[in-house]
Chain A
Amino acid sequence: MKNGRFVVGLVGVALVVSYLMWTGVSETMVYYLTPTELLAKVESDPSFRDMGVKVSGRVVPGTYQRVEGELLHSFMVRDLTDESSTFPVEYRNALPDTFSDEVEVVLEGRLRPDGVFEANTLLTKCGSRYEASPEELAG
């Protein structure tokens, strides 16, 4: 067939792209959990600690500390709804400007055996919309 080679080529490209996508998702995907879910998972299955996860929670006011000279930031994070689920976080990088007490943060990293969450990335969740409801404007 005249177009045989051609079809093979096209199918080949499609297969390679699918393969890249498939392995890409399965190898880079991480769970996106709340602190409560993370603590529960680790409790029921300690090997879960070794997996990287993404967690969103709120910074507990007054817990932020900067370890001078070590470029280390530490603070406590609590669940957005269940205030009793908290754990300490350590982060070694420049903090985003919007980081502050009570801000909602999205962390990627893993929970160490000592119970400290070691974050590799930290994003704050706000700013992108930067809008207030009428009630907030009134206050």
Chain B
Amino acid sequence: MTILGEFALWIALPLTVWGMVMGFVGGRTQRGDLVLSAERSIYASSFALTLASAGVVAAFLGDRFEYWYVANYSNANLELFYKITGLWAGQRGSLLFWALILSYFSCIAVFSNRRRNREFMPYVAGVLQTVMFFFVVVLLFADVNPFERLAFTPADGRGLNPQLQNYWMTIHPPTLYLGFTAFTIPFAFAVSALLSGRLDARWIQLTRRWILLSWFFLSIGIVFGMRWAYEELGWGGYWFWDPVENASLLPWLTATAFLHSIQIQENRGMLKIWNMSLVALTFLLTIFATFLTRSGLIESVHSFAQELRIAYIFLGFMAFILGASVVLILYRRESLRSDNQIESFVSRESAFLFNNLILLGAAFAVFWGTIFPLVAEGVTGQAVSVGPPFFNRVNIPIGLFLLFLTGVGPVIAWRRASKRNLQKNFQWPVLVGWGVAAVLWILGARHPLALTTWGIGAFVLTVIGVEFYKGTRARARIEGEGSFRAFFHLVSRNRRRWGGYIVHVAMVMIFMGFAGSAYNVDERRNVQPGETIQVASPFGHTYDLTYEGLSVVANRGQRNLDFQMLALVTVARDGRVLDRLTTEKRRYVTSDPGQLMTEVGIRSSFYEDLYLILAAVDDPEGALANDPDAQGIDLQVLVKPLVGWIWFGTLILAIGSLVAMWPSADRRRMAQEARATAPADPVAVGAD
């Protein structure tokens, strides 16, 4: 099976080349047979990549440690689940997995357009196969072949890094990859529009749901990573401004900008060049993100040298994409003229434009902060570092202004907002925003940034709440429906709009959750059994945490686990016992003997998390031997207000994006009717 997989990977190479050539030549010469061949090559290369991936999984399941990749990411005792997810545990498998997902998305795009939008398809197929070709080349020629064999067969593998043996870590990378690769489809359609000259908003309408799908996966993928850091890294944080995290944030920022700016093109026929540039930029950043995450370039210029070949292939491809996009956009610049002009400073266009500018500003700042150390070292020879202080300083004001626009954008009028429009829509929300901030101030919350966030958040929530209320009431009156039914119909009649509002509500919740970190409590002490640590929550109550002692558990079912040393802590709030938490040190059989991994204990509630860290055990050997005098530990206690809102907000964000993505009933009916009446007509169907 593994040999077959390796063979299939080689077969994918000519297949992608074939599809690339046939797509572009077929588009140029308008020959349908060539285009059909290009599309079929996509199915074929997708099949080949499926075989290749199955080959890697088979090597994991069969403990084939003669393969370098398997030897490094598995061992005989690894749980079955982690053997299967080994496909994307490391760089080599990830790149293959990436190509695999891209090929599936390509199949869906080609298949769903097999009868319609034929004018786009030749170049779409060509672009998709070009991207696929690039990844196959990387896999085969950049020293990252997952099928590389060692000269000998090790007795056992090195096992999976214990920190990666976590549920969130297994779903975080594939979710991000889904987001990254899904964006290839809009990019392919955009390039196709540029090449074929069909430069109206059609390519946007056709790919709007792909854009949303990509954005949806990017968003939840990023949050899954935050959740992993929160649970696994054991210091209570969820975001480091680490280059790898920044790399995933960059395309998210530009994709968010793009989601908004396409609405201006659809509604007002403006910003055509801007949208083309944004789609190309976002695609470029998805490639850049893979490059950063999977090459280790940014850590230092020195690691660059070790990964020379893959770095050059990636940089070459990115330069090619950048150059080709710029040339194509310049070539079509006459046809990309705006149909309209912005009429007023106070209008929805203007709000969206500011939103775009600020998102791009944030993206640029993050990009600059990420590569600045490299640039500085390259220019001056002196290594420097910019860290979280830089990113927070730049991005907090930007984020707050964006949050504010989240409330302005939905209700300000297109073209030119009148004084009446402004007063009607914003009078109450502004008052509520100030009111909430004032009440919180009276209640004792004095942190300026947190107060600003909560005030702006209340403003945005009021704006959106009023919109929902007015819409529902109007519908209930006109249609004579009950309010629940009216609400449901309201949303389902214009899913795009109301889904967007739901996402805005989610962003408010997430931001409010971030602001909660201004009130984090951090207490640490060395405790003996029976001792109690008192911790005051910013919400006014007091936790009494009584340390009960250590309990040693030897190998409990999880096969790679050597032992666990659990610290038992009884949690009481205002004198009433609520819960019993454990935080532990554990050792994996594959780790160095001295290396203990920490698992934190978390008690989540809607308004705050209690987070316990077993920072150190006074006498690990004694504790392992159950010596009653060796029970002292360093216990760190964090109270993290509102952190749960980030996760809960993400759930709402997911629901909102799904609402916006779901095909509306009208469109489904239209598509069905069109299929029934004119199955062979290539352009009759309007739905995507």
Chain A positions near chain B (C-beta within 8 angstroms): 2-3, 5-6, 9-10, 13-14, 16-17, 20-21, 23-25, 27-33, 54, 66, 68-71, 94-95, 97-98, 100-101, 108, 125, 127-132, 134, 137-138
Q: Mark B461-495, 1 if CB is under 8 A from A, else 0.
A: 00000000000000000000000000000000000
Instruction: For chain B, residues 130 to 179, give those with C-beta under 8 angstroms from any C-beta of chain A.
Output: 150-152, 154, 158, 161-164
Determine how close the nearest CB of chain A comes to the CB of B361; give it in whole angstroms: 4
Secondary structure of the B contact surface, majority rule: mixed
Closest residue of B by beta carbon distance from A99: B595
B385 A137 Cβ-Cβ under 8 A: no
| Nearest Cβ on chain B to A58's Cβ, whole angstroms | 15
A45 to chain B, nearest CB (A): 15
**Size of interface on B: residues with Cβ below 8 Å to A:** 63
List residues of chain B with CB within 8 A of the CB of A20: 365, 393-394, 397-398
**Could you write out 30 A-B pairs with CB less than 8 Å apart?**
A2-B341, A9-B345, A9-B350, A10-B357, A13-B354, A13-B357, A13-B361, A17-B361, A17-B362, A17-B364, A24-B369, A24-B389, A24-B390, A29-B384, A30-B384, A68-B526, A68-B618, A71-B616, A94-B598, A94-B616, A95-B615, A95-B616, A97-B162, A97-B595, A97-B598, A108-B387, A129-B91, A130-B90, A130-B158, A134-B150
Residues of B within 8 A of A66 (CB): 616
Q: In the assembly, what is the distance between CA of A10 and CA of B351, in Å?
A: 11
B386–A25 touching, CB < 8 Å: yes
Residues of B within 8 A of A94 (CB): 234-235, 524, 598, 613, 615-616, 634, 636
Contact B342 A6 (CB under 8 A): yes
Q: Write the nearest CB–CB distance from A73 to chain B, whole angstroms.
A: 8
* Residue among B68, B91, B383 making CB contact with A33, cutoff 8 Å: B383
B158 pairs with A132, CB closer than 8 A: yes
Question: Closest chain A residue to B376 by CB distance?
Answer: A29
CA distance A114 to B592 in the complex (A): 34
Q: Is the Cβ of A5 less than 8 Å from the Cβ of B345? A: yes
Give the residues in chain A near B299, CB-CB below 8 Å.
Answer: 125
User: B45 → chain A, closest Cβ, in Å?
Assistant: 28
Per-position contact with A for B635-655: 1 when CB-CB < 8 Å, else 0?
010000000000000000000
Q: Which of A127, A132, A137 contacts B163 (CB 8 A)?
A: A127
Which residues of chain B are near A28, meaning CB under 8 Å? Answer: 386-387, 389-390, 393
Residues on B with beta carbons closer than 8 Å to the beta carbon of A14: 357, 361
Report which residue of B364, B613, B634 has the largest number of chain A beta carbons within 10 angstroms of its beta carbon: B634
Compute how far the CA of A20 lies from the CA of B365 in the bound complex, rounded to whole angstroms: 9
Known: A94-B636, A128-B296, A131-B72. A21 touches B365 (CB 8 A): yes
Interface flags, B349-386, vs A, CB<8A=1, else 0: 01001100110011011001100110000000011111
Q: Inside 8 A of B154's CB, which chain A residues have their CB?
A: 137-138
Give CA–CA (A130, B234) in the complex, Å: 19
Within 8 A of A (CB), among B61-94: 68, 71-72, 90-91
Q: Give Cα A56 to B591, complex, Å.
A: 24
The residue on B at minimum CB distance from A131 is: B72
List 6 other contacts, CB 8 Å, given A2-B341, A30-B384, A108-B387.
A17-B362, A25-B368, A25-B372, A28-B390, A29-B385, A129-B296
